[in-house]
Amino acid sequence: MSRVIVEAEPEPISLNLDRTALVIIDMQRDFLEPGGFGESLGNDVSLLGKAVGPLKTLLARARRKGVFVIHTREGHRPDLSDAPRAKVERGAPSARIGAPGPMGRILIRGEPGHDIIAELYPAPGEPVIDKPGKGAFYATDLHTVLVNRGIESLIVTGVTTEVCVHTTVREANDRGYRCVVPSDCCGSYFPEFHEMGLKMIKAQGGIFGWVSDSTRILSAMG
């Protein structure tokens, strides 16, 4: 057993690295790359890009230490049969799920913009969970994959802090996982939402989990 103590708020968290997964949420081209769907909506994608460097370092260390790595992608079937109308019929018609975007149809599986950015591309054998919702547990087999690996703790990273990362942490907490979020390995188009999202996780004695950063996690991992 490889147990480490990670400095975090509201208190240090003890992780058995053999039973910990690094979960990388939705680091997709359309959310992060200049010229993608996120930027076409007027967002400053460099705010998300700040997370790539620290996350790349954490991913490399996790791989070296044998920590289970899992990736997710938000998206839908090309025929939109798994996309609720409430989600599809939102926003300007040209910016809706399934509409033609700058990197292919918006949030459709198999389109270039739906793919994971090159810097964090999944290695062979690392599961990729295609999720139709914001939370990575909703309508996916993520829980089964984690249970089968004996995972009890998650390092949750990715974008965006207050949407898919937050929803996933809440879902994970309800399913009994202990979650730590490295603040520099996630990001939001809205810096104030990023800050508040992290505050919400660690408030009230860690109501949904713990917040740390890549430096403190790397130092604990060794």
Catalytic residue numbers read 26, 131, 164
Q: How far is the CB of 160 from ligand C5J (least distance, A)?
A: 4
Rounded Cα distance between 155 and 162, Å, is: 16
Q: How far is the CB of 63 from ligand C5J (least distance, A)?
A: 23
- When the beta carbons of 15 and 164 are compared against ligand C5J, the nearer one is 164
Question: Smallest Cα–Cα separation from 73: which of 23, 34, 35, 8?
Answer: 23
To the nearest 10°, report the CA torsion of 139, 211, 4, 155: 20
Helix (H, G, I), strand (E, B) or coil at 108: strand
Q: According to DSSP H, which parts of the chain are helical? A: 29-32, 37-40, 46-49, 52-65, 85-88, 142-148, 166-174, 191-206, 214-221
Residues 6+ apart with CB under 8 A from 34: 45
Pick 15 or 159: Cβ nearer ligand C5J: 159
User: In the complex, which residues of this chain contact ligand C5J (CB under 6 A)?
Assistant: 26, 74, 159-160, 163-164
We find the least distance from the C-beta atom of residue 38 to ligand C5J, in angstroms, to be 8
Q: Which is nearer to ligand C5J, 155 or 159 (CB)?
A: 159
Q: In the bound complex, what is the minimum distance in angstroms from residue 100's beta carbon to ligand C5J?
A: 18
Toward ligand C5J, which CB reaches closer, 19 or 208?
208
How far apart CA 29 and CA 113 sit, in angstroms, is 5
